Structure 1
Amino acid sequence: MDGVRYPAVAGSFYPSGRALIEMLEEFFSDLGEEGNERRITAGVAPHAGYVFSGYTASRTYKAIFEDGLPETFVILGPNHTGLGSPIAVYPAGKWRTPLGDVEVDAEIAKAIAKLSGIADLDELAHRYEHSIEVQLPFIQYLAKRAGRAVKIVPIALGIQDEETSEDLGKAVFEASRELGRDVVVIASTDFMHYGPMYGYMPFRARADELPHRIKEWDFRVIRRILDFDVRGMFRELREMNHTMCGPGGVGTAIVYSRLAGALEAELLHYTTSYEVSRSTEAVVGYASIVMRR
């Protein structure tokens, strides 16, 4: 290994080259000036193809930029590949995208793994996983706009439950406090996955009604997130047999935010893939959320 994690989904989930910059410029066409309030403790952003969810993800990062970029983004995403440790903190090195390299904050990565009772320092879980990689171009674009570098701590979750959320949320908070690091947690998740391609159709609806029905189901979960209610979120997911893919990261963001003094959460944008694809074979919900002190 040369210390670089190479892109696994550039050119598929998001463009490479000039097309990526043009897409980001379009997403951030309404971007304001970088702020210095630093009230935002965490954000939720989707990780599908940019054509479907990129605008929604950009709303999270726009809010963070206008609030003030942190030193380090701790980014938690689901492990879709099954490789590596169930709770895998990327230890050190750089992650590469078509926009360049982002440095891993090795110091806080090691501290999180040490303070956690369940996390391991592990690269393998991240090698082909897209859920964290797709967040990086947003961060890189805004860091360049601000004229400074930021670091990342990628954490891939193969286990997602209340206990994992509590453990990691506390570990991230304690590590950031111990090192005096200014941190924002990013929970990378999509919401309901509906349709024959996913083998999940808990209700039937006409094509034109489907986005509204999916939104109703997703909002049962989103309401719990906005209330900082980790156990309530997982209870709703179990009761509905919901197909949200990254609840552990969201739970971690809530726990960290509570400890960091967050008082409010806001839903910034919601959409579904149907708005773009018009396909009922596979429909996914996407939400942008931030949590603030």
Structure 2
Amino acid sequence: MNIRTPAVAGQFYERSPEVLHHQLDKWLGACPKFESPLRAIIVPHAGYIYSGKIAAEAYSYVKLQSEHFHRVILIGPSHHFYFEGCAIPKAEIYNTPLGDVPIDKEAVRELARHPCVQVTDQPHAPEHCLEVQIPFLQSTLDEFQLLPILTSHISPQELAMLIDPLWDESTLLVISSDLSHFHSYSEAMAIDQNSCLKIEDFQPDLAPEEACGCTGINALLQLADKHGYQLERLHLANSGDTSGNKDKVVGYVSYLISAV
């Protein structure tokens, strides 16, 4: 069986299952009630010491509605490879220190029919932006299948067209993205605040300089606007807030997207 093994366990997050469980259980504590049906989240993908608590705020709400979700479409930007379109893995299993998650082979076959989709393990093998989300999903959902999608040279419109037919009520859409990179603290705050205003105004024109996962966010904004969904910002911060070093920071935000 083809298994995608962890690439960044012990670097971006704890390798020990016991330590990882303890950390995530602590972060995924009680959160306010949320009555609206959750449809998607936007979460950061840095190392857990930098952005884990910010991501956990969104995943706490996923945990509240976990019985509704049996599949996760997980989208993030390829950091190591540039290619046309987007990439889904050949692998059948996605493994982390917390165990195995089955990849939705039927959805893979469906997407593989599109010319802008590549089925290849290569860009997935070293990629952190999807992997860091999996332990959160394993800690908040029961049994689920995963559809991991890495974006490269693909338009938000093409990506939205691919995922919309698969995004049913039992499917959670997770967009993995950080915000601005390596500005001073004050510059990053201004850039990221403006990016959030765009998101909250459903303007699907974020640039890579504003969010490394802009393609996924822009596709989500198009679909959320089409379906009449609402957004709620949970937490905007940057690595200067979480690490204390405010020289060259990376921005992070978490959002909930829900049906009215």
State if a TM-score over 0.5 links the two structures: yes
Runs of 4+ in 1 over 3 A off after TM superposition: 83-86
Taking only the aligned residue pairs, the percentage that are identical comes to: 26
Match of 1:61 in 2: 59
For residue 124 of structure 1, give the secondary structure of its aligned residue in structure 2: coil
AA in 2 matched with 1:175: L
One-letter amino acid of the counterpart of residue 155, structure 1: I
Residue aligning to 1:16: 15
CA drift at 1:122 = 1.8
| Alignment match, 1:167 | 158
Measure how far apart 1:59 and its partner are: 1.4
2:119 maps to which of 100, 118, 121 = 121
Looking at structure 2, the residues matched to 136 and 269 of structure 1 have their Cα atoms a distance apart, in angstroms, of 20
Question: What's the CA shift for 1:92?
Answer: 4.5
Give unpaired runs (5+ residues) of structure 1: 196-204
CA distance, structure 2, for counterparts of residue 150 and residue 135 of structure 1: 14
- Whether the 8 Å CA contact 1:73–1:150 is kept in 2: the answer is yes
What SS does the aligned partner of 1:11 have?
Answer: coil
Q: In the alignment, what sits opposite 2:217?
A: 250
Instruction: Please report how far the alpha carbon of residue 169 of structure 1 lies from its aligned counterpart in structure 2 after TM superposition.
Output: 1.3
- Structure 1 residue 182: deviation in Å? 2.2
Q: Is the partner of 2:127 in helix, strand or coil?
A: coil
2:143 pairs with 1:149: yes
Task: Give the corresponding residue for 1:199.
Answer: none
Report what 2:256 is aligned to: 290
Q: 1:278 and 2:244 equivalent?
A: yes
Q: Quick check: 1:158 aligned with 2:152?
A: yes
The alpha carbon displacement at 1:220 in A equals 1.1
> How many residues were matched structurally?
257
Amino acid paired to 2:177: T
Give the Cα separation in 2 of the matches to 1:229 and 1:184. Answer: 22
> How big is the alpha-carbon RMSD for the aligned residues of Structure 1 and Structure 2?
2.3
Alpha-carbon distance in 2 for matches of 1:39, 1:90 = 29
**In structure 1, what is the Cα distance between the partners aligned to 2:43 and 2:223?**
16
Give the alignment's TM-score, normalised by structure 1. Answer: 0.80
Q: Deviations over 1:125-178 (max 9, x none)?
A: 1000000000000000112xxxx3011111111225xxx21112122112346x
Q: Within 5 Å, which residues of 2 pair with 1:82-161?
A: 82=81, 86-114=85-113, 116-143=114-141, 148-159=142-153
1:170, 1:255 within 8 Å by CA — same for their partners in 2? Answer: no
> In 1, distance between residues paired with 2:36 and 2:125?
32
Q: Matched residues in 1 for 2:256 and 2:115: separation?
A: 27
| 1:244-287 Cα deviation digits (max 9, x unpaired) | 2110111222233344x243111011111112322234311100
SS at match of 2:9: coil
Larger Rg, first or second structure (1 or 2):
1
1:84-134 residue CA offsets vs partner (Å, 9 max, x unmatched)? 6641022450111000001111111222332x4512222111000000000
Separation in 1, partners of 2:192, 2:85? 26
- The answer to whether the aligner puts 1:264 opposite 2:238 as a matched pair is no
Q: Report the CA distance between 1:15 and its aligned residue.
A: 0.4
Once the two structures are superposed, residues 5-30 of structure 1 have per-residue CA deviations (whole angstroms, 9 ceiling, x without a partner) of: 00000011000212111110111122
Correspondence 1:211-226 to 2 at 5 A: 212-226=186-200
